[in-house]
Amino acid sequence: MGARRIYILLGVLLLLVTAGVFYTALHKQDILQGFSDDMNRGWRLGTGQEEDRYSPENFLHRYTNLLASLSMFAVWIILFLGWFFSLLKFPEHRRWILWAAPVVLAIDLLWFGSRFLVTHDKEGWEERYYPDSELMALLQEQTDEGRLIIPDNALHWGMREREPELYPNGPLYYRVRVVRGYNPTILLHYSQFINVIQGRDPDTFPGGLLFLNDIPNADTMGLRVLGVKHLVEWNQVGAPFVPEKKLPNGLLLYRFDQGLPRVFRAREADNDWGLAPIEGEMDKTRIVESDCNHIVVETESEEASWLVFNDCWFPGWEATLDGEPADIAVAFHAFQAVRAPAGKSQVVWRFRPTLWNLYLGV
């Protein structure tokens, strides 16, 4: 009885998909016109993308893929019906029939699926998305680990093809740390931090790229804690930013000399943040080892205080203080801190998220 219901369900699904295939094939011009209308609406709303993505050839390619996908779906239903029928009809060959499913799936992904993939060779990919950039070359020469901040007006979508290396997370390819990025966008405390330093309500929706639209007037302490060392702008801005260079493309590079190190000591304070950096001890804390998921810090202070690490707090970070497990607190609304005693000590942060370890095990 259960098998019969599956046959009926799949039969109805096959009829619907087959009808979709015939409808798509018979209404080709209407569908292509729909693609064109969608493009026109996008340009009127200011959301249009690069012209080559909205050419007649591109529309035809999208239509062909749509028709092929529906046809492939119908074929998969037929294959599954045959596989399921064989599984019930020939129980003595169950082992081989079960193995047929992953084999056919692998063939589909590696062979038939390849027609939907756009591939680039490494050199072509780097040349298009990560070209030689005077700005990135300048920032790579910096010896500190400060961050580059790129406000919205430097990322106009119409200029994306002209400045691809600026787009999130493009600068990371050049080993340039940035304030803006896709990953922190999903963290509530980080999006709230970005809102707070620009004078907005903390729960303002940040948008897909974090709306950094008022950086020249942003809270100075917020910029310091972020470790901002440079700003790129199309417009001229004043203090506390210092002009450094005008690039050939018209972008202006500014220096921000007040940015704090990646790791620094801070004490409790009666201010909006509840903490303040210990200004006279910046040179007593240094990073001795660092990679993406691991950082070793040696620090010295005349008082017990917080050792702040300006990477976002996130579940999965662990810390040790002189070899012993240490609790990680949230500091300056979004970042990590460990309580360190007076004198010399070593703090090690490691990123060991549970899900990542599970995936490695699998």
Extended strands (E) in the chain: 147-149, 228-233, 241-246, 252-256, 263-268, 275-277, 285-291, 294-301, 305-312, 317-321, 324-326, 329-331, 335-340, 343-351
Burial of 345 (0-12, 13-18, 19+ CB in 10 A): middle
Rg (CA), the chain: 28
Structural domain boundaries enclosing 60: 2-119
Cα 356 from Cα 362, distance rounded (Å):
10
**How confident is the model at residue 72, as a pLDDT?**
86
Closest CA to 251 of 265, 237, 238: 237
Q: Which two three-digit tokens encode residue 55?
A: 């050419």
* Whether 241 and 275 share a structural domain: no
* Whether 245 and 275 share a structural domain: no
Residuewise pLDDT in 10s, the chain (362 residues): 578 888 888 889 999 999 999 999 998 888 888 877 776 655 444 444 444 555 677 788 888 888 988 998 898 899 888 888 888 888 888 888 889 888 888 887 777 677 667 777 888 888 888 888 888 888 888 767 789 988 877 776 666 677 788 877 788 888 888 887 555 556 888 888 888 888 888 888 766 556 787 888 889 999 999 999 999 888 888 889 999 999 887 888 999 999 999 999 999 999 888 999 999 888 899 999 998 889 999 999 999 999 999 988 988 899 999 999 999 999 999 999 999 999 999 999 999 888 888 888 88
**How confident is the model at residue 268, as a pLDDT?**
92
**How confident is the model at residue 357, as a pLDDT?**
80
**3-state SS of 245-307?**
EECCCCCEEEEECCCCCCEEEEEECCCCCCEEECHHHHHHEEEEEEECCEEEEEEEECCCEEE
Sign of CA dihedral 320, 325, 326, 330: positive
Q: Pick the last residue of a domain from 102, 119, 136.
A: 119
Q: Which two three-digit tokens encode residue 102?
A: 């992953």
**How confident is the model at residue 291, as a pLDDT?**
86
Cα 70 from Cα 349, distance rounded (Å):
49
For the entire predicted model, the pTM comes to: 0.67
Q: Are 242 and 256 in contact (CB under 8 A)?
A: yes
* Whether 328 and 346 share a structural domain: yes
Overall domain count for the chain: 3
Q: Are 241 and 231 in contact (CB under 8 A)?
A: yes
Q: Pick the last residue of a domain from 236, 256, 276.
A: 256
* Whether 34 and 137 share a structural domain: no
Closest CA to 234 of 142, 129, 163: 163
What's the N-to-C CA distance of the chain in angstroms?
36
Cα 210 from Cα 206, distance rounded (Å):
5
What residues form DSSP beta bridges with 247?
none
* Whether 75 and 138 share a structural domain: no
* Whether 291 and 337 share a structural domain: yes
* Whether 67 and 155 share a structural domain: no
Q: Pick the last residue of a domain from 71, 93, 119.
A: 119
Q: Which two three-digit tokens encode residue 56?
A: 């007649």
Find out whether the peptide bond into 240 is cis, omega within 30 degrees of 0: yes
**How confident is the model at residue 160, as a pLDDT?**
67
- Where residue 338 sits, what CATH number does that domain have? 2.60.40
